[in-house]
Protein backbone atom coordinates (compact mmCIF):
# COMPACT_ATOMS: atom_id res chain seq x y z
CA UNK A 1 0.00 0.00 0.00
CA UNK A 2 1.39 3.45 -0.74
CA UNK A 3 1.80 5.94 2.08
CA UNK A 4 -1.10 8.17 0.97
CA UNK A 5 -3.50 5.24 1.08
CA UNK A 6 -2.23 4.29 4.52
CA UNK A 7 -2.94 7.80 5.84
CA UNK A 8 -6.36 7.99 4.21
CA UNK A 9 -7.36 4.75 5.84
CA UNK A 10 -6.04 5.86 9.24
CA UNK A 11 -7.83 9.20 8.88
CA UNK A 12 -11.16 7.51 8.12
CA UNK A 13 -10.92 5.36 11.21
CA UNK A 14 -9.71 8.26 13.38
CA UNK A 15 -12.49 10.66 12.35
CA UNK A 16 -15.14 7.99 12.70
CA UNK A 17 -14.12 7.48 16.30
CA UNK A 18 -13.41 11.18 16.94
CA UNK A 19 -15.94 13.29 15.05
CA UNK A 20 -14.53 16.47 16.62
CA UNK A 21 -11.30 15.97 14.63
CA UNK A 22 -13.38 16.11 11.45
CA UNK A 23 -15.14 19.22 12.76
CA UNK A 24 -11.78 20.92 13.30
CA UNK A 25 -10.62 19.88 9.85
CA UNK A 26 -13.84 21.24 8.33
CA UNK A 27 -13.49 24.51 10.25
CA UNK A 28 -10.09 25.11 8.67
CA UNK A 29 -11.17 24.09 5.18
CA UNK A 30 -14.23 26.32 5.35
CA UNK A 31 -11.90 29.16 6.38
CA UNK A 32 -10.21 28.58 3.01
CA UNK A 33 -7.29 26.53 4.28
CA UNK A 34 -5.82 23.35 2.88
CA UNK A 35 -5.03 21.13 5.85
CA UNK A 36 -1.75 19.24 5.74
CA UNK A 37 -0.43 16.94 8.43
CA UNK A 38 2.79 17.61 10.29
CA UNK A 39 2.83 14.15 11.81
CA UNK A 40 0.70 11.17 12.74
CA UNK A 41 1.37 9.43 16.03
CA UNK A 42 1.05 5.84 17.22
CA UNK A 43 1.39 4.22 20.61
CA UNK A 44 2.56 0.75 21.45
CA UNK A 45 4.26 -1.47 24.04
CA UNK A 46 7.93 -2.42 24.02
CA UNK A 47 7.11 -6.13 23.66
CA UNK A 48 9.15 -7.37 20.67
CA UNK A 49 6.00 -8.67 18.98
CA UNK A 50 4.39 -5.22 18.72
CA UNK A 51 7.14 -2.65 19.37
CA UNK A 52 8.13 0.43 17.35
CA UNK A 53 9.99 -1.64 14.74
CA UNK A 54 6.88 -3.74 14.12
CA UNK A 55 4.56 -0.74 13.71
CA UNK A 56 7.10 1.02 11.50
CA UNK A 57 7.20 -1.81 8.95
CA UNK A 58 4.43 -0.64 6.60
CA UNK A 59 5.93 2.85 6.56
CA UNK A 60 9.44 1.62 5.76
CA UNK A 61 7.93 -0.36 2.88
CA UNK A 62 6.16 2.73 1.54
CA UNK A 63 9.15 5.05 1.32
CA UNK A 64 9.82 6.14 4.89
CA UNK A 65 13.12 6.12 6.75
CA UNK A 66 14.07 6.41 10.40
CA UNK A 67 15.15 9.90 11.55
CA UNK A 68 15.26 10.83 15.25
CA UNK A 69 14.74 8.98 18.50
CA UNK A 70 13.57 10.31 21.86
CA UNK A 71 13.40 9.44 25.55
CA UNK A 72 10.44 10.67 27.56
CA UNK A 73 11.75 9.98 31.05
CA UNK A 74 8.73 11.18 33.02
CA UNK A 75 6.28 9.12 31.01
CA UNK A 76 8.63 6.13 30.66
CA UNK A 77 8.41 6.16 26.90
CA UNK A 78 10.83 5.75 24.06
CA UNK A 79 9.97 7.01 20.55
CA UNK A 80 11.25 7.22 17.00
CA UNK A 81 10.20 9.40 14.13
CA UNK A 82 10.20 8.59 10.43
CA UNK A 83 10.14 10.74 7.34
CA UNK A 84 9.39 10.10 3.71
CA UNK A 85 12.61 9.77 1.72
CA UNK A 86 11.66 12.00 -1.20
CA UNK A 87 8.26 13.65 -0.67
CA UNK A 88 8.41 16.30 2.04
CA UNK A 89 4.70 17.03 1.77
CA UNK A 90 4.12 13.65 3.43
CA UNK A 91 3.61 13.74 7.19
CA UNK A 92 6.22 12.51 9.65
CA UNK A 93 5.34 9.30 11.45
CA UNK A 94 5.92 9.32 15.20
CA UNK A 95 5.83 5.99 17.09
CA UNK A 96 6.30 5.69 20.83
CA UNK A 97 6.46 2.64 23.06
CA UNK A 98 5.92 2.15 26.79
CA UNK A 99 8.95 0.94 28.74
CA UNK A 100 7.02 -1.76 30.59
CA UNK A 101 9.96 -2.78 32.78
CA UNK A 102 9.72 0.56 34.63
CA UNK A 103 6.25 -0.35 35.94
CA UNK A 104 4.62 -2.73 38.42
CA UNK A 105 4.33 -6.45 37.98
CA UNK A 106 0.58 -5.96 37.55
CA UNK A 107 1.09 -3.65 34.57
CA UNK A 108 3.74 -5.89 33.02
CA UNK A 109 1.55 -8.98 33.37
CA UNK A 110 -1.45 -7.17 31.92
CA UNK A 111 0.59 -6.08 28.89
CA UNK A 112 1.96 -9.55 28.35
CA UNK A 113 -1.51 -11.06 28.76
CA UNK A 114 -3.06 -8.86 26.08
CA UNK A 115 -0.18 -9.19 23.63
CA UNK A 116 -0.42 -12.99 24.07
CA UNK A 117 -4.01 -12.78 22.81
CA UNK A 118 -3.10 -11.15 19.47
CA UNK A 119 -3.37 -13.72 16.67
CA UNK A 120 -0.03 -14.60 15.00
CA UNK A 121 -1.49 -13.59 11.67
CA UNK A 122 -2.19 -10.04 12.89
CA UNK A 123 1.30 -9.69 14.35
CA UNK A 124 2.82 -10.55 10.99
CA UNK A 125 0.45 -8.33 8.99
CA UNK A 126 0.89 -4.75 7.77
CA UNK A 127 -2.73 -4.30 8.84
CA UNK A 128 -1.68 -4.23 12.50
CA UNK A 129 -1.64 -0.39 12.55
CA UNK A 130 -5.39 -0.30 11.79
CA UNK A 131 -6.41 -3.27 13.88
CA UNK A 132 -7.54 -1.53 17.06
CA UNK A 133 -7.88 -3.78 20.09
CA UNK A 134 -6.96 -7.37 19.26
CA UNK A 135 -7.73 -8.78 22.70
CA UNK A 136 -10.78 -9.45 24.84
CA UNK A 137 -13.22 -6.74 25.86
CA UNK A 138 -11.45 -4.53 28.42
CA UNK A 139 -12.27 -4.46 32.12
CA UNK A 140 -13.07 -1.04 33.61
CA UNK A 141 -11.39 -2.09 36.83
CA UNK A 142 -8.14 -2.93 35.01
CA UNK A 143 -8.41 0.29 32.98
CA UNK A 144 -8.65 2.33 36.19
CA UNK A 145 -5.82 0.42 37.80
CA UNK A 146 -3.56 0.98 34.78
CA UNK A 147 -4.40 4.70 34.86
CA UNK A 148 -2.91 4.96 38.35
CA UNK A 149 0.46 4.07 36.82
CA UNK A 150 0.21 5.20 33.22
CA UNK A 151 -2.61 6.91 31.32
CA UNK A 152 -0.74 5.87 28.20
CA UNK A 153 -0.97 2.16 29.11
CA UNK A 154 -4.65 2.51 30.00
CA UNK A 155 -5.40 4.18 26.65
CA UNK A 156 -3.60 1.43 24.72
CA UNK A 157 -5.33 -1.30 26.70
CA UNK A 158 -8.72 0.03 25.58
CA UNK A 159 -8.01 1.18 22.03
CA UNK A 160 -5.12 -0.92 20.74
CA UNK A 161 -3.50 -0.08 17.41
CA UNK A 162 -4.75 3.02 15.58
CA UNK A 163 -3.62 6.59 15.04
CA UNK A 164 -3.48 8.27 18.44
CA UNK A 165 -3.48 11.72 16.84
CA UNK A 166 -3.12 13.59 13.60
CA UNK A 167 -1.36 16.96 13.70
CA UNK A 168 -2.17 20.00 11.61
CA UNK A 169 0.89 21.61 10.03
CA UNK A 170 0.45 25.29 10.93
CA UNK A 171 3.29 26.33 8.60
CA UNK A 172 1.17 25.18 5.67
CA UNK A 173 -1.83 27.34 6.67
CA UNK A 174 -2.23 30.67 4.92
CA UNK A 175 -4.25 32.84 7.31
CA UNK A 176 -3.12 31.39 10.62
CA UNK A 177 0.49 32.48 10.94
CA UNK A 178 0.83 31.73 14.66
CA UNK A 179 -0.12 28.95 17.04
CA UNK A 180 -1.82 31.59 19.22
CA UNK A 181 -4.20 32.38 16.35
CA UNK A 182 -4.93 28.71 15.83
CA UNK A 183 -5.70 28.22 19.53
CA UNK A 184 -7.91 31.33 19.63
CA UNK A 185 -9.85 30.10 16.60
CA UNK A 186 -10.40 26.67 18.20
CA UNK A 187 -11.49 28.12 21.55
CA UNK A 188 -13.85 30.54 19.82
CA UNK A 189 -15.47 27.46 18.29
CA UNK A 190 -15.89 25.78 21.65
CA UNK A 191 -12.97 23.36 21.70
CA UNK A 192 -11.11 22.64 24.93
CA UNK A 193 -7.35 22.95 24.80
CA UNK A 194 -5.02 20.67 26.72
CA UNK A 195 -3.47 23.20 29.10
CA UNK A 196 -1.23 20.91 31.10
CA UNK A 197 2.14 22.66 31.02
CA UNK A 198 0.52 25.66 29.29
CA UNK A 199 -1.54 25.73 26.11
CA UNK A 200 1.56 25.94 23.95
CA UNK A 201 4.31 23.36 24.41
CA UNK A 202 7.72 24.38 23.15
CA UNK A 203 9.01 27.80 22.08
CA UNK A 204 10.30 29.43 18.88
CA UNK A 205 13.83 29.04 20.37
CA UNK A 206 13.24 25.30 20.63
CA UNK A 207 12.09 25.47 16.98
CA UNK A 208 8.81 23.66 17.61
CA UNK A 209 5.54 24.82 19.17
CA UNK A 210 2.66 22.42 19.67
CA UNK A 211 -0.83 22.55 21.12
CA UNK A 212 -3.74 20.15 21.14
CA UNK A 213 -7.43 19.97 21.87
CA UNK A 214 -8.53 17.57 24.56
CA UNK A 215 -9.60 14.14 23.49
CA UNK A 216 -13.15 13.41 22.57
CA UNK A 217 -15.07 11.62 25.33
CA UNK A 218 -16.72 8.51 23.92
CA UNK A 219 -18.76 5.59 25.22
CA UNK A 220 -16.80 2.36 25.45
CA UNK A 221 -18.15 -1.10 26.28
CA UNK A 222 -16.29 -2.67 29.15
CA UNK A 223 -16.89 -6.04 30.79
CA UNK A 224 -18.63 -4.20 33.62
CA UNK A 225 -20.83 -2.02 31.35
CA UNK A 226 -20.54 1.16 29.30
CA UNK A 227 -18.37 4.04 30.49
CA UNK A 228 -17.40 7.40 29.01
CA UNK A 229 -13.64 7.83 28.60
CA UNK A 230 -11.26 9.94 26.48
CA UNK A 231 -10.44 8.73 22.96
CA UNK A 232 -8.03 10.50 20.59
CA UNK A 233 -7.01 14.12 20.14
CA UNK A 234 -6.06 16.52 17.38
CA UNK A 235 -2.77 18.36 17.54
CA UNK A 236 -1.29 21.52 15.96
CA UNK A 237 2.38 22.13 15.25
CA UNK A 238 4.40 25.11 14.08
CA UNK A 239 8.04 24.67 13.17
CA UNK A 240 10.87 27.23 12.91
CA UNK A 241 14.05 27.24 10.82
CA UNK A 242 17.35 26.33 12.50
CA UNK A 243 20.66 28.20 12.04
CA UNK A 244 21.14 26.72 8.59
CA UNK A 245 17.74 28.07 7.55
CA UNK A 246 16.18 24.60 7.40
CA UNK A 247 12.88 24.00 9.08
CA UNK A 248 13.43 21.96 12.25
CA UNK A 249 12.03 18.48 11.72
CA UNK A 250 12.44 16.71 15.07
CA UNK A 251 10.45 16.50 18.27
CA UNK A 252 11.32 17.95 21.67
CA UNK A 253 11.19 15.39 24.41
CA UNK A 254 10.59 17.87 27.23
CA UNK A 255 7.50 19.54 25.83
CA UNK A 256 6.04 16.44 24.23
CA UNK A 257 5.99 14.83 27.67
CA UNK A 258 3.04 17.09 28.44
CA UNK A 259 1.23 16.65 25.17
CA UNK A 260 0.85 12.94 25.92
CA UNK A 261 -1.57 14.12 28.63
CA UNK A 262 -4.15 15.09 26.02
CA UNK A 263 -5.67 11.62 26.39
CA UNK A 264 -5.71 11.70 30.20
CA UNK A 265 -8.97 10.84 31.85
CA UNK A 266 -11.38 13.72 32.43
CA UNK A 267 -15.12 14.08 32.72
CA UNK A 268 -17.05 15.71 29.94
CA UNK A 269 -18.67 18.39 32.08
CA UNK A 270 -15.34 19.45 33.54
CA UNK A 271 -13.66 22.39 31.87
CA UNK A 272 -10.13 21.26 32.80
Binding site for Ni ion (CB under 5 A): 41, 235
CB of residue 167 to Ni ion, shortest distance in Å: 5
**CA gap 66, 84 in Å, rounded:** 9
Residue 217 exposed, middle or buried by CB count within 10 Å (0-12, 13-18, 19+): middle
Buried b / exposed e along 37-70 (16+ C-beta atoms within 10 A): bbbbbbbbbbbebbbbebbbebbeebebebeeeb
Nearer to Ni ion, 133 or 201 (CB): 201
- Least distance from Ni ion to the Cβ atom of residue 244, Å: 24
Complex with Ni ion: residue 235 or 257, whichever CB lies closer = 235
Report in angstroms how near the CB of residue 183 gets to Ni ion at its nearest: 16
Nearest to 220 by CA among 159, 141, 146: 159
Residue 2 has phi, psi (to 5 degrees) of -80, 160
In sequence order, the β-bridge partners of residue 94 are: 41, 81
Residue whose C-beta lies closest to Ni ion: 41
Q: Which is nearer to Ni ion, 6 or 41 (CB)?
A: 41
Q: 100 or 194, CB closer to Ni ion?
A: 194
CB of 235 vs Ni ion, minimal distance in Å: 5
Amino acid sequence: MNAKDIFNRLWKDYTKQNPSAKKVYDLFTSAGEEVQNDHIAFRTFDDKRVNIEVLARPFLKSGYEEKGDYHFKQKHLYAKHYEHISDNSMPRVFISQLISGDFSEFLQKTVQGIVDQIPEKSLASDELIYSGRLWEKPSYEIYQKLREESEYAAWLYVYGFRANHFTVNINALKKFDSIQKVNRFLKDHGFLMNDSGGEIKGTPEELLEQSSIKSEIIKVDFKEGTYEIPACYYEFARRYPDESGRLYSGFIAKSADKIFESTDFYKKNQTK
